[in-house]
Amino acid sequence: MYSPAGVKTAASHPIPDVMKAWVLGDPGQLTLQDKPVPVPKKAEVLVRIDAVAICATDLEIIYHGPPASIQGGLPFNKGFTPGHEYMGMVVALGPGVDEYQIGQRVTVEIHAGCGQCKRCRAGMYTSCHNYGLNYGDVDKGHRANGFTTDGGFCEYQVNNINTLVAIPDTMSDEEATLVVTAGTAMYGLTELGGLVAGESVVVTGPGPIGLLGVAVAKALGANPVILTGTRDNRLAIGLALGADYAVNVRQEDAVEAVRRLNGGRGVDYVVECSGAPNAVNEAIRMVNRGGKVCLAAFPHEETPVDVAHIVRNNIYLYGIRGEGKSATHRAEAFMSQKRFDATKIHTHTFALEDLPTAIRYAKDRVEDAIKVVVKARGVPAAQRVAAE
Ligand SMILES: [Zn+2]
Ligand SMILES: [Zn+2]
């Protein structure tokens, strides 16, 4: 039985030595293998993973590699386990940990920065200067689970205590996997100025981050909140999450629509979540002079940008990486207070053994899938459970 030196365990929560873990081989190739259950070090805990949501970035990593970086390179054929939007229960405590208890339910954020570089010291741990210099020959203590270290498509994972967010029993496993997505949207709004009560916001692109961006902006008091996109079913979810207006850009020019809906003026903030080729040029025309644009999507290609328009109009452009400045804690506070219902974007649940099917649903948007969750227990294999 699992009992590493210096690690606190409890008889009430027995831990095996070996677990099931999905391992990435060649691009797109995942196999279910046995792996040793990892051991928490100082300031870390072992989390029993109960549910994992599939993210578009997981699909990028599994099929193309970046932004994952394992031992400084592509993640293929290195025994790497992807997955990063997970939740579960603390089952073992590394040396010195008293901030969490065994048996406590938690969800996680992805990035544990090194804690010693300039960016980490400023709360920008998703932009850690020692990114990728995690355990191995160089040990800076940095982890980005599912990106530079093993992630969550398995039964147990090690997490730094700074990446844990305690959740109430009233929050379901599925909802808890969405805290980090809402946290990413929250971080975007933090970087744009934080409190947006009464200010106007456009969210472009109704993917998971865009949809929860609408919800978070509304919870922060933004008015109006305008969502743009191409799929009516997703725009409808945006309206249900609090958008004041939804614009289908296939039917109407997005920039003109935004100005019309905001009294003829540009808005204060744009959160760009579409990654569309002309998204930046449209976003800088949606904001008013002195407005702010947050870029939260990873476009595939380089595109020309009208820099003169940005300069002439004193526009601020921000890129954000992930969920910095403890934004997940603030997102969780909204969610546990039921300020919005993030589960509106959860569409399907599968057993962990059926991860390849779950990935197909997420990738091909089978049955209009948005957020697809896999669970290590409680869901019979080869049996899909549609969300309500
Ligand atoms: Zn993600
Ligand atoms: Zn750092």
Higher-pLDDT residue of 100, 131: 100
What pLDDT, on a 0 to 100 scale, did the predictor assign at position 160?
96
Give the separation between CA 45 and CA 48, rounded to whole angstroms: 10
pLDDT at 378: 85
> What one-letter code names the amino acid at 204?
T
Q: Helix H segments across the chain? A: 56-63, 118-121, 173-176, 179-192, 208-219, 232-240, 254-261, 279-286, 307-312, 327-336, 355-364
Mean of per-residue pLDDT scores for the chain: 95
Kindly indicate the confidence band of residue 383, based on its pLDDT and cuts at 50, 70 and 90. Answer: low
The residue-averaged pLDDT of 362-385 equals 89
| pLDDT at 381 (0 to 100) | 82
User: Whose CA is closest to 349, among 311, 378, 319?
Assistant: 378
Q: What is the pLDDT of residue 332?
A: 98
Q: How many CB atoms lie within 10 A of CB 125?
A: 29
Percent of residues, the chain, with pLDDT higher than 90:
89
Lookup: tokens for 191: 């970087």
CA of 323 to the centre of ligand 2 (A): 14
Helices (H) and strands (E) in the chain, counts: 11, 18
Q: Which ligand is nearest to the CA of 55?
A: 1
Sheet holding 201-204, edge to edge: 245-248, 225-229, 201-204, 267-272, 287-295, 316-319
Q: Please tell me the predicted confidence (pLDDT) of residue 63.
A: 97
Query: What is the pLDDT, as a whole number, of residue 181?
Result: 97
Span 141-158, average pLDDT: 95
Residues with CB under 5 A from ligand 2 (ion): 113-114, 117, 120, 128, 130
pLDDT at residue 251, as a whole number:
97
The reported pTM is 0.94
pLDDT of residue 369 exceeding 70, the answer is yes
Q: Which residues surround ligand 1, an ion (CB under 5 A)?
A: 55, 57
* Rounded CA separation 110/255 (Å): 34
Q: Which of 8-12, 187-191, 214-218 has the lowest average pLDDT?
A: 187-191
Sign of CA dihedral 289, 290, 296, 302: positive
If you measure from the C-alpha of residue 135 to the centroid of ligand 2, how many angstroms do you get, rounded to a whole number?
14
Phi and psi at 127, nearest 5°, equal -115, 30
Looking at all shown ligands, the one closest to residue 118's CA atom is 2
What confidence tens digit (pLDDT) does each residue in 75-84 have? 999 999 999 9
Which of 324, 311, 227, 229 shows the shortest CA–CA distance to 275? Answer: 229
For 145: left if phi > 0, alpha if psi spans -120 to 50, otherwise beta; the answer is beta
- Residue 33 confidence (pLDDT) above 90: yes
Q: Are the C-beta atoms of 84 and 147 separated by less than 8 Å?
A: yes
Please provide the distance, in angstroms rounded to a whole number, between the alpha carbons at the two ends of the chain: 39
Q: Is residue 387 over pLDDT 70?
A: no
What confidence score (pLDDT) does residue 176 get?
A: 98
Distance 59 CA to ligand 1 centre (A): 10
Tokens 């027995």, residue located: 14
